[in-house]
Amino acid sequence: MESAINKVVLSGFAGADAEVKTVMNQKLAKVNLAVNESYKNSSGEEIKKVQWFNLTFWNAKADIAEAQIKKGTGLTIEGRLQTNTYDAKDGTKRYSFDIIVSEVTIRENEKQNAI
């Protein structure tokens, strides 16, 4: 049996400045990443769509996020997908998906003002 792989690579733009806090004596930064997609539908019309992803940075990566990631910053990240479950206020079970970032490249020459 082959080993499983949980790997995500995304390239997009930060939707806001990194939000930083400390959790159990570890630094944590959260950033939303907008990934722009476009394709042509069956009628040949171009469709533009934005997908949003939740990024989580820990410790040294959180330091990088805090210092360098501002709204509109171009990012390419590599990480792993983590699924979380929680109970909503109405008692229903909810799911969220985060990408735990292991590698980040700040694309300094790229900045998007309007996401």
The whole-number pLDDT of residue 114 equals 41
**CA-closest candidate to residue 100, choices 51, 59, 50, 49:** 59
Q: What is the H or E stretch that residue 111 is in? A: strand 93-111
pLDDT tens per residue, range 12-70: 999 999 999 999 999 999 999 999 999 999 999 999 999 999 999 999 999 999 999 99
pLDDT tens per residue, range 98-108: 999 999 999 87
Q: What is the H or E stretch that residue 53 is in? A: strand 46-58
Q: pTM for the full model? A: 0.83
Residue 111 binned pLDDT confidence (cut-offs 50, 70, 90): low
pLDDT tens per residue, range 88-100: 999 999 999 999 9
